């Protein structure tokens, strides 16, 4: 008699377990946020060799040299390359920084930009105020 009661209890527990599993599977899933790994947030990197050369945006010119130096001038201001302002530059991931040396003092003014596009013929970047500059490669 005890065996029959034990078997009946096991059957009831098994049936209840099956009912619970079916009920749990039929419930809407709780929101599980997607796991995003840190490398997803890493900034895109650009090949600095693509920067080397002369770039033009309207009347504004930038020349980037291999040694990290550069010059800029604006022909609208009647300034030619021989009179250009000098700067040094670097690219880290997607951040382009120009370090402009002031002519009247030894002060160095950094200008930081976010590179949006850089390929063999196009250079696009914007500053922290969302002012966008678009250049085409001249040489």
Mean predicted confidence (pLDDT) in 42-61 = 89
47: which residues sit within 8 A by CB, 6+ positions away?
A: 118
- Assign 122 to helix, strand or coil: strand
Give 86-125 pLDDT, tens digit per residue: 999 999 888 999 999 887 888 899 999 999 999 999 999 9
List Cβ neighbours of 44 (8 Å cut-off, separation of 6 or more).
93, 94, 115
**For residues 1 and 52, which has the higher predicted lDDT (pLDDT)?**
52
* pLDDT classification of 35: cutoffs 50, 70, 90: low
């Amino acid at each position: 008699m005890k065996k029959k009661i034990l078997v009946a209890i096991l059957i009831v527990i098994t049936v209840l377990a099956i009912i619970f599993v079916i009920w749990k599977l039929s419930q809407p899933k709780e929101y599980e946020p997607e796991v995003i790994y840190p490398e997803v947030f890493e900034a895109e990197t650009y090949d600095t060799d693509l920067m080397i050369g002369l770039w033009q945006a309207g009347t504004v010119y930038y020349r980037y040299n291999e040694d990290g130096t550069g010059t800029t001038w604006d022909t609208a201001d009647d300034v030619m390359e021989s009179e250009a302002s000098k700067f040094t530059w670097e690219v880290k991931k997607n951040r382009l920084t120009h370090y402009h040396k002031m002519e009247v003092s030894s002060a160095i003014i950094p200008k930081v930009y976010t590179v949006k596009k850089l390929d063999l013929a196009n250079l696009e970047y914007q500053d922290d105020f969302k002012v966008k500059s678009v250049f085409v490669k001249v040489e």
